[in-house]
Structure 1
Amino acid sequence: MSAVTLPRGSLLQGSHAPEQLAELIDQAEEALRTWRPVWTSFVSPLLREEAMARLGSLSELTLHAEGGLSGAERCRLQLVRAELDAPPPDPAQAADTALPLLGLTLSGNFLFDSASAGDFRAGLLQAGAQEAELGDLWLRGDRGAQLVVTPELAGRLDGGTALVRSVEVQLETTPLDRLLPPARPQPRRFSTVEASLRLDAVGSAGFGIPRNRMAEQIRSGSVRVNWQDVRNPSRELKTGDRVRLENRGELTVLEVQITKRDRWRLALLRS
């Protein structure tokens, strides 16, 4: 088969994740060279956005993002020659074998030792998972968590156990259509008036959660601002900033104005 070379220099220019994007370029060249679709590992929202904008602009290549549930943040990308393009099945309707995705349920009693999404991810990594094998994860109250994973990881962990904080959890493969992910809100634009532009204050108003809970989420590493890990609740926001809260979507600061009483009127977009 003849070599296929994409314009790597221009595709990588200005990337926020050049090493990871370079790996996707390698996989895109493989898909073009072999005339067979290639699935990537799970990628972050930042990398997905860059790949869609950069690789998706190439006339010979088509990309599809699949995360196993509507509005998934972490997705696997399908890279395919444009001439062969056929969208993958809808995850809500497809059999589990139609997509390289499966669900995994982690069951345990967290009534007396509550755990965060980060704690569950850490437990899975300790049990032998790789970050690139893990999709979106959400909590199930005090009963554990669920997430989307690669079939290979599901096969390795199914029927086993993992330790999350002090709690031993049972691991069970779960069909995609039996997962119970949290409901995601429809995109909505609204205004709010706040005493400050602090991340915890604006995030509390934008995501509709108590300010102290928003501060906890920030300190635990569940919040990104403009794709960067931010753990300081007092970080001040400005027009154009994008705040992503794990499993709660994204908040964009559209406009900031000061009021006559020295407060801040913000126009926000939640998606």
Structure 2
Amino acid sequence: MINRDAILKRISGIDDKIFLSKVIDKALKAQNSHCITSTDFLDPYQSNIIKKSIGDNSGVNCVFYGGYTGAEREIAIFCPQGMSISDFHTYEYPLKVIEVKWKSRISLTHRDFLGSLMGLGIKREKIGDILLEDDICRIIVISEIAEYLEYNLLKVGNANVEVTLTDVGEIQPQDRNFKEIKVSVASLRLDCIASSGFGISRSKIGEFIKGDKVSLNWEKISSLTKQVSEGDTISIRGKGRVIVDKIGAMTKKGRISITLLKYL
């Protein structure tokens, strides 16, 4: 059974406690009412909090879904103990896809789409992944806002757009484009790794860290000396993100060989 007090006791940050308390309410409803419940969209950091704190608790099963395999932003779905979503034959994922088209000669970015959505009063947690191609953008959203966007999203950036709705399940896994960066570093400190990955001086990285612009595995980090591990993701607001793909052997000069993958 879910023990709210025991779960929250293990969480230190007040914001994380507030967030997790709301999620526990969803899980308890599934447990006690024998129904399926779900959250809004979560970023990977929030998903990790749920996995570590609740996971497949003895009173509820939890799965994550973002509209397609490999989605970054997902919802958490809770169903009663001993059952899975497939047992609820009438269950429909509370997600829709809005397909946005415009004249191909106009170049639009992810930021353009996100800005237009939020300009309509849509909260970030109602928006999942934004999948942008040459002349079409597929945006996964919570179903309750889909129809509103169909009729009110008329312009993105400087482009007039047309919006249609489709169901999830038709989106294929997305290929991620990376630039491979092989370097040797003096240490596995966050500022050192980030400097190599983003091509920015360590002093500037230090300013970003102190300005709360740097996240490690989607958690804001304030320490320059935080140690980085293989598989970690480093994000800098407005600069993108880098994955620590491989930590290799020590070189003859006492430096550490690493391979980074920078999102393009």
**1:122 Cα shift?**
1.6
Residue 103 of structure 1 aligns to a residue whose secondary structure is strand
**1:262 Cα shift?**
6.6
Change (3 A) 1:47 1:261: same
Choose which of 124, 129, 132 in structure 2 pairs with 1:139: 132
Contact 2:41 2:125 in 1 (8 A): yes
Q: Distance in 1 between matches of 2:50 and 2:144?
A: 24
**1:135 Cα shift?**
0.9
Match of 1:77 in 2: 76
2:219 matches 1:228: yes
Q: Distance in 1 between matches of 2:158 and 2:181?
A: 42
Structure 1, residues 101-155: CA drift from partner, whole Å, max 9, x if none? 211112224645x4432331121111232222111112113x2421211221112
Residue pairs, 1:71-220, within 5 angstroms: 71-83=70-82, 85-88=83-86, 98-109=92-103, 111-112=105-106, 114-141=107-134, 143-179=135-171, 182-184=174-176, 192-194=182-184, 197-199=192-194, 201-202=196-197
**1:244 Cα shift?**
5.6
5+ unaligned residues in a row in structure 2: which ranges?
187-191, 200-204
Letter in 2 for 1:99: Y
Change (3 A) 1:170 1:121: same
Choose which of 204, 229, 236 in structure 2 pairs with 1:240: 229
Match of 2:42 in 1: 43
Q: Distance in 1 between matches of 2:214 and 2:164?
A: 28
Contact 1:194 1:264 in 2 (8 A): yes
**1:80 Cα shift?**
1.7
Q: Distance in 1 between matches of 2:244 and 2:138?
A: 27
Match of 2:4 in 1: 7
Structure 1, residues 183-218: CA drift from partner, whole Å, max 9, x if none? 258xxxx993346844264368xxxxxxxxxx9xx9
- Same amino acid, percent of matched pairs: 19
Q: TM-score, normalised by structure 1?
A: 0.69
Letter in 2 for 1:153: I
Q: Distance in 1 between matches of 2:57 and 2:169?
A: 34
Q: Distance in 1 between matches of 2:225 and 2:105?
A: 35
**1:170 Cα shift?**
2.3
**1:63 Cα shift?**
0.2
- How many residue pairs were aligned? 236
5+ unaligned residues in a row in structure 1: which ranges?
205-214
Change (3 A) 1:158 1:223: farther
Match of 1:212 in 2: none
Q: TM-score, normalised by structure 2?
A: 0.71
Q: Distance in 2 between matches of 1:29 and 1:160?
A: 36
Change (3 A) 1:140 1:245: farther
